């Protein structure tokens, strides 16, 4: 049920060792979910390095990594959820909901900003738990459950912000107690060889590493693959299907909270209408990274590579001086190509 990337292959039948030995390394490579995205990333990076020389500069690379990280942190949770066989269309607005919750709680009540951060964490994880609970309780598709949550949060974000602040944006909290320490954690920059790199890039790498370890080296990872593949069979062998699915939605809530805190402490204020449409980018990044829409297959590392491709393309289009209106068209083409590549990879892997 789990994908162990370095697991040894079964010994080939006698008399056929040379043929299988020659083919197995390629098949093992093609069997990795992130192969398609890795090839795509290499092509995209080389292309923009040749057509947009500005992207080669250290500051430009830091900008690309930053854009990839803000997308990639949430993609970590979305990738795990998709491997578990579900979607979350509310992830984009959930990021802004967490920012608004922390900002308004702190400013209106005059608390230390860390209080609002913790309240926002509980609220964001609670939204994820609600999505998961409603899913397993009713049996409704996650598409419908999270679409409903998306619409609710979108309306609440705007209505409550206008009601509380009298505006569509929250108040500036940069002069409140605890702001500097919170910014150091969520939105500081680190100087590396004279180049400022936002700390969210390092958090992104850490989240990918930890999530990959959980997915590939623990029984929880086995459960995620199992419930995304055949949940009835998984339940029959003792996998806690309901708890696993609820936990995956809570994981999406956690990463949405983290990016929400990053945005809050980077800009000091939050626009209540932001975040709409980002949920599709998270899903596309995960699909480009090798996660199947049907669940049971994928990789957190692949999702990270998918996010990196988006970061390179987003900034590459700017550095190349092209019309950015074509970006959405590129997203659609990339989604279709990724789906076709993933189908081919799965076909090759299943020929063993």
| pLDDT value, residue 121 | 98
Residue 205 has pLDDT above 80, yes or no: yes
Residue 113 has pLDDT above 90, yes or no: yes
| pLDDT value, residue 297 | 87
| pLDDT value, residue 188 | 95
Mean predicted confidence (pLDDT) in 282-310 = 90
Residue 342 has pLDDT above 70, yes or no: no
| Residue 191 three-state SS | strand
| pLDDT value, residue 29 | 66
Mean predicted confidence (pLDDT) in 102-120 = 96
Alpha-carbon distance of 78 to 306, in angstroms, equals: 12
Q: Which of 147, 129, 141 is nearest to 249 (CA)?
A: 129
Mean predicted confidence (pLDDT) in 204-227 = 95
**What's the pTM value of the predicted model, to 2 decimals?**
0.88
DSSP letter for each residue of 217-276: HSHHHHHHHHHHH-HHHHHHTT--HHHHHHHHHHHHHHHHHHHHHHHHHHHSS-BTTTTT
**High-pLDDT (> 90) share of the chain, %:** 61
| pLDDT value, residue 261 | 97
Two structure tokens written together for 345: 């990879």
pLDDT band at 24 (very low <50, low <70, confident <90, very high): low
**High-pLDDT (> 70) share of the chain, %:** 87
Residue 132 has pLDDT above 70, yes or no: yes
Mean predicted confidence (pLDDT) in 75-89 = 95
Mean predicted confidence (pLDDT) in 324-328 = 75
List the end-to-end C-alpha distance of the chain, in Å, as a whole number.
16
Residue 197 backbone phi and psi in degrees, to 5:
-115, 125
Mean predicted confidence (pLDDT) in 302-331 = 84
243-279, pLDDT tens digit by residue?
999 999 999 999 999 999 999 999 999 999 888 889 9
Residue 13 has pLDDT above 60, yes or no: no
Residue 151 has pLDDT above 90, yes or no: yes
| pLDDT value, residue 349 | 60
pLDDT band at 15 (very low <50, low <70, confident <90, very high): very low
Burial degree of 280 (CB within 10 A; 0-12, 13-18, 19+) = middle
Listed ranges 2-6, 174-178, 232-236; the one with the highest mean pLDDT:
174-178
3-state per-residue secondary structure call for 83-132: HCCCCCCCHHHHHHHHHHHHHHHHHHHCCCHHHHHHHHHHHHHHHHHHHH
More confident residue, 284 or 40: 284
| pLDDT value, residue 336 | 76
| pLDDT value, residue 350 | 61
| pLDDT value, residue 27 | 67
| pLDDT value, residue 232 | 78
């Amino acid at each position: 049920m789990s994908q162990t990337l370095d697991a040894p292959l079964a010994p080939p039948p006698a008399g056929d060792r040379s043929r299988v030995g020659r083919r197995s390394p390629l098949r093992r490579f093609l069997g990795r979910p992130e192969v398609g995205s890795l090839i795509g990333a290499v092509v995209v990076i080389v292309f923009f390095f040749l057509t947009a020389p500005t992207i080669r500069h250290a500051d430009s690379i830091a900008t690309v990594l930053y854009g990839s990280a803000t997308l990639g942190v949430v993609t970590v949770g979305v990738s795990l959820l998709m491997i578990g066989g579900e979607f979350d269309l509310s992830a984009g607005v959930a990021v802004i909901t967490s920012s608004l919750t922390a900002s308004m709680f702190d400013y209106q009540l005059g608390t230390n900003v860390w209080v609002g951060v913790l309240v926002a964490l509980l609220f964001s994880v609670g939204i994820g738990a609600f999505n998961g609970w409603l899913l397993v309780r009713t049996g409704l598709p996650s598409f419908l459950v999270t679409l409903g949550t998306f619409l609710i949060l979108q309306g609440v974000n705007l209505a409550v912000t206008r009601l509380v602040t009298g505006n569509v944006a929250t108040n500036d909290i940069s002069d409140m107690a605890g702001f500097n320490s919170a910014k150091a954690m969520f939105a500081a920059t680190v100087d590396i060889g004279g180049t400022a790199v936002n700390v969210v890039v390092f958090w992104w790498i850490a989240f990918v590493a930890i999530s990959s370890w959980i997915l590939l080296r623990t029984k929880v990872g086995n459960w995620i693959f199992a419930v995304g593949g055949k949940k009835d069979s998984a339940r029959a062998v003792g996998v806690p299907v309901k708890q696993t699915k609820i936990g995956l939605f809570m994981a999406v809530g956690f990463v949405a909270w983290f990016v929400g805190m990053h945005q809050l402490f980077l800009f000091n204020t939050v626009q209540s209408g932001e975040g709409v449409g980002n949920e599709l980018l998270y899903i596309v990044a995960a699909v480009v990274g090798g996660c199947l829409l049907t669940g049971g297959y994928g990789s957190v590392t692949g999702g990270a590579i998918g996010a990196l491709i988006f970061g390179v393309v987003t900034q590459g289009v700017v550095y190349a001086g092209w019309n950015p209106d074509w970006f959405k068209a590129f997203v659609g083409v990339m989604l279709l190509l990724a789906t076709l590549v993933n189908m081919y990879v799965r076909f090759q892997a299943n020929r063993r």
